[in-house]
Each structure stands twice: as structure tokens, then as C-alpha cells.
Amino acid sequence: MAINKALKFVAQLSIDKASQALSRFIRVGAKIEMDDIYMADISEITGKLSAESDEVVGAFIDLGGDVKFKFLFFVNAQDSCLLADLILRRPVGTTTTYDQYTSSAVQEIANILSCGIASVFTSDFQLGITISPPTVIHDFVGTVFLEYFMSIAVEQNEVMMIETTFKIVQQNINCHMFIIPDSKTEKVLSYISNTL
Amino acid sequence: MSKKVLLVDDAPILRLLLKDILEKNGYEVVAECSNGNEAVAKFKELRPDLVTLDIIMPEKTGLEALGEILKIDPNARIIMVTAIEDRESLMKALRSGANDYILKPFEEGRVISAVKGTLDE
């Protein structure tokens, strides 16, 4: 599928909504930037990422209905402690180890972000979207990606990756969000982008 | 006597936030549940004055639990909890008999006004 300018616009709109929702949630500025949107070969990208050994906390969500996406949000395990402090409105640095609250912070941020993305399609394009409860995983980044791709690989050889990073103001937290539409959804996205 | 509240949310961090707000304002949190099945069972057992019910949860969603709790007690007071942009599910819940809603992130004033208003109905 061709990644055209209009498709990038739809992706950017989704990311901006997610960015606003996240800022409201943690009560400090959060800016999500779209690093890249591209078609990637699953076997190639899986091989590359499986070598990554940073410990992260990630959350997967399935967006279903008229458009279907696989959503992944992850953050360095140490930074998940900072996110928990921000949400609980505690002084940053209070939480020092990974526990149920850090896991839950990642889970809830993933929820907020995916709801923000879904709202673009429900409000702006009148499509129906369902959102699954998040699955949280604490592991090496390569393992998290393998899990993420596993359910897609059987259906597709190539996937559209919308890759982002974002910064949370006053805290040096690097988070990552990936959105992969399924093959039918790519056609819907293509149709939407051609109508813009 | 303080009013009894049952908190239902699959995110422990949000249960902790909501519990702090409620206890600070004189309400008693009698139990916490992380899914709809537990919520229905605890409601039967404890008969709280109020239930706060998250919409998106594993095993049984908040919408499903809402229907079952209202079957057990049609006068049950239930406040739905939802993420900012999940308007569609929220409208479904209100049409199905929920009394009010609160949005994530929680605003203390809004939480207390929803709880007070629902209990005073």
C-alpha cells in the first residue's frame, strides 16, 4: 500500500488526539511525534528487534470494529516508575521498583492513547470502534515485539508501521507507540485518505 | 454512618486514586474488584450504597456487569467510569440505567459531585 500525504495526515491526527488525551491524564505536557510511517517486512523487522535487550513495560490493545489496529505502547521499565508517580501525583522518584502500580500506569496510559486514536475514527469519520482491555507485558523489548507481531504474522507478510516517540515535559521519559492496521483496514485508510 | 462504595476497575492505580478521593471525603470503600464477574459477586454479597464501574475490563465488561447488577437490584446506584474519548460506550451505559459517569483522569470535585448527586437521588 502506498503511504501518501493524506494517509500521513490521518495518522498525525490520531497521534495529536492521543497526545492531548495523555497530557490531560498526567496533567503535564506530553508531545507525541510521528517518527515514521512505512511498510515493513515482518520477518526482517522481527529479526532486527529481537536483538534488542532493553527491559521495558508494554501494553497491547486490539482496536476492532469498522477498522482494526494492533496497538503497542511501551516504556523503559525504570521510566514506568516515573509514570506511576505522575499519575498518582506523588513527587517524581517516590516509586523505585516495578510493581502493580507501575504496570497499571502503563496499562492506563495505553488505554487513554488508544481511546484518543479511536475517537478520530468515531468522531471525525463516523466509524464504529471497539477497544479490548490491555495486556501488559514486562520483558525485553525484543520479546515484547515478538509477542506483538505473532498474531499478525500469520495473516500478512508486510505491515504498515506507524512509529512514534514522545516526550513528557520536565521529565526525560521516552515512550514508544506503534500502530499496525490489518490489511482490510489499510484499504479503509486508503479510502479515507483519498476523500480528504 | 458513611456510605459504602464498591470500586470496580481493572487498573489498580486508578482504584487507588479513586479510593483516596472517596475516603478523604468521608465515604467507605468496602471492596475493590478488577473485573465485571467479581463486581457482580461482590455486589450480591455486600449490597453497597454505590458502585463505580469501569467500562473496559477483561472477562466481563462494565456494560455487562451493569445489566447484571441492575437485574439483582433495579435501584442499585451505579456511576460509570470511562476514558476521555469513549463516548459511545458511555451513552450505552446511561441508556441502560447507569446514574451518572465520571471521566478519567479524575477531577476530585467532579467525582464527589457525581457520588453525592447519585446517592441523593
Asked whether the ipTM of the predicted complex exceeds the cut of 0.90, the reply is no
Q: Name residue A148's amino acid.
A: Y
Query: Nearest residue of A to residue B11 by CA position?
Result: A104
Q: Which residues of A182-191 are buried (b: 16+ CB within 10 A; e: fewer)?
A: beebbebbbe
Separation CA B61–CA B41 (nearest Å): 14
The answer to which of A21-25, A114-118, B10-14, B50-54 has the lowest mean pLDDT is A21-25
A108/B17 touch (CB, cutoff 8 Å), yes or no: no
E runs forming strands in A96-194:
129-131, 135-140, 158-168, 171-181
Domain of residue B26 covers 4-120
- Which residues in B lie closer than 8 A to residue A115 (C-beta atoms)? 83-86
Whether the Cβ atoms of residue A115 and residue B84 lie closer than 8 Å to each other: yes
Separation CA A95–CA B118 (nearest Å): 35
Number of domains in chain B: 1
Set out the domains of chain A in order of their start, with CATH numbers. Answer: 5-195 (3.40.1550.10)
pLDDT digit string, tens, across residues A125-184: 778 888 888 999 999 888 888 888 776 656 667 777 777 776 776 676 777 888 888 777
pTM for the model stands at 0.81
Separation CA B54–CA B45 (nearest Å): 19
Q: How many CB pairs under 8 A join A and B?
A: 62
pLDDT digit string, tens, across residues B14-45: 999 999 999 999 999 999 999 999 999 999 99
pLDDT digit string, tens, across residues A1-29: 555 666 677 777 777 877 777 777 777 77
Separation CA A18–CA A69 (nearest Å): 15
Of the partner residues A17, A88, A112, the one whose CB lies closest to the CB of residue B104: A112
Which domain CATH number covers B72?
3.40.50.2300
Q: Please classify residue A76 by burial: count the beta carbons closer than 10 Å to its beta carbon, then call 0-12 exposed, 13-18 middle and 19+ buried.
A: middle
